[in-house]
A and B are shown apart, each in its own frame.
Chain A
């Protein structure tokens, strides 16, 4: 089914990205591209630089070398909130929700960039501001329904179990109606059932909204099932790039994952 979707043109291309902290090289000369509507996976052992790569794409880390071309604009660095405004949303490996706020409010913040009404109207809570709030509330309710989290709408997210928090975080990212969604280990620490749910959500998002997805995942079964193309990183270098089948049969990848004796 994933193959039936129409994969479009390249919307994101990273070229020769190098990133280091002090003397430690986190990424060296990484290049790959992401096409519209596809599910692109980044895999690799711990410390391979996967999360750093996402951080570079959405402007949180600034690479020393290389460029990122997104929707035709080429740049080396940008502020994270600029990336967000251009339609890049993401979730985090260690959940980064706003713990003191309810599920509803958390997802509503995802739409903050789309809300325009100023302080004055908001202070009075009249007319335009109120109308705007209600429109966005409706959109958020659709997401809440889609993710099946109606029952925790008003619960402060700090009190939710891990699996649900991950779901709320996905909701917050979706609320921004992104054209590119970055998911950092969306299924880490989940049990089989939760994983299946999450896979379903990711595929549905991709299917229904046509959102392009770049995800990092450790569960190879999941990656091979849901992704169109896979990039493999190891020690900050690109090891392989291709369809799940190509990657699976790549000798270097097998070596990196299974370990090989160099004698």
Chain B
């Protein structure tokens, strides 16, 4: 063991409770400790809320992910790289769309209508992280894609990510910590002198699996079969399902629309990092250009970003940190999922439609749809996000015991979506109508600022006892405005061509504003370098809380005991570090509608007249009792390092009891008000997390290390007040809130198979009797979207300058609900079907799960065509070779000749292999969500969701 604990302890004691890290000093000391890379770095400084601690003394549950692990993978957005890196942190990587958002849940699901995402804090500011920011445009998920607020963040900027999981760690974030906190620290200059880091990466991307659709001939065959099954005679008539093409004309047409949509995405990334440091100033500058093309033709995310971080020490006791980033992310948009593009190729775009639409001169209209490739090529559609995140902080050490810190930050996001549809596109729908193009613009800007001040006081009372106290105050305010502008007589996109006033329609939307005012404190006591006690508390006031609940109080207490400091353990040579810790506390979730607490009236100017007279209408019902969700969190863990750091392991148990769960309940209609935010439910989560890092072989030239983690979470909703499973708005994917079942329960009619004689589908009624009638009152809880367990297993082998590593992510249990199957696997309609339908019932005696083909919903025992049954439900288990990388470090000797410090070439492949019983395109699903409830309740539910990307890339990193 090379760590000198004495040094480290001194370092940590000097840092304990200190408001911010003094990087110039602390980082040096940390460096000088020379921690071997493969060992769990117990000597590390860990960023906690409003301060930092030595990892040894941390009493909460905090996982650290190094920036290198983030930049290693070419992902759509940095948060996808967190997958598998920390136990208990579930990351469902977003679809293959450029810039797509991943779904992250820390220790299960504890929210329903309030956003269930962790709180993201970058250099001290909780950033704008609303996935539905453009919702007021009525267009937030336009194109089957929701804007990802994290996509414009440059992964290259990230030094470290700390994931705060339990109350001991999160209660300092009070009403916003309950779903975990992700603290992102950006890179700062560390090494003296002038240094450069240059890197570049090139790659390609293809889908993990191609959707397997029926050819035109196959579809026609099924149509014909349905036509005769239904008792029709003669030549089948496509008019029965609204298709105007003649049966004879479409024979032999086999356009492969999937081929038109899917290609090979190309990726490139260039980054230059400059590092300068002397005794009083340290500057880090990072300039990165990234262009990530997805496999969907025409779709890419392009990011240009710059960061400048400076640390200035004008006098001995004053440290000033300035951080600035500016990035511009351009998403070249295409339609997907339900909105068109690849989604249409998987649904409404039958392969019997020719590439160019068929025109009918008698009716002056087209008989077949406009080609998906033509729509894509004609639409000029971009969302451009310019974002700057800035922080200035100062820390003044008054004396040995007291320091004062102040920090102010601003996160400004300017999001503009431009869509231009030229006249060629418009005239398809109305061929006789002559007009110029249609240009639309959805601008939105969000200004989000905060400041906080803290005072840190620490005192060594005696050799054995030391205490520290931190008190602080914070204010945060976010303001956002948006509008919608349309030019219906345009010759180009709004940002590129002049707008005549006569053709302009402009509508301002409701601005959004929210604010938090907070007071917090943390008390630490250390006894003999082995016992740590921590008390934290926070009072949060928020603009979102009702008049009866203006402030919430969030206390926590935790204790950590380093047993390995005791003689009876010290004598055991194999144990180099052993710590037990336990904590209990409360944190909240206040990420819900900004204005739900207010009782308001819509002014008459915004309403029509009745009887020639103006009217007023109640807009919102006041909820004076509205407040944060409150989670009481207990956490107990044991951390150990054995055999001189060859093995480090951690086992944690937690339980989370969440009450006052925010639900956007569809209150019974007779109340006269559609839906309403209320604190109604309780949710229980408990789980176990285990991680094991081992150095299996370590010789001079060869090393093999492994890293395994697994988390098991049990989740159940224990109350939803007086409401019924269907009362929660937003669970649009047939998941419901059911007492005794997990969040996101698949609530469906059970499918009883196909009647062998008639080919008709059968269902179970509520009592389990087989019935031929589909009735939604027979729905029961049949599955849920949450996995039973998930984790990661990675191995790294290095030999001399070569290194190979492989990462396997696995997800055990949970269900996949293939929502689009209801239109692909039962009735023959104007939808194309998946080739799995070919295994249908055809004649008496056939055994099949798929009923006989029909055009008429009554033949399926239903009055309504799109019915939901558990036939569409699949086991969600999968194992995925997430990434494999090969790298070669150019030997030092060669480098010296070119004056390089280090140089490395890496080849990375992602999503190479997937093992699953799921027969659809991809078992890892984060679809385009409609609102926060949907995001909480509809993970692992697919509706024409594009599969993930399989990528191959080559990266070169140089330092000099």
Do A and B form a real pair?
no
Residues of A within 8 A of B (CB): none
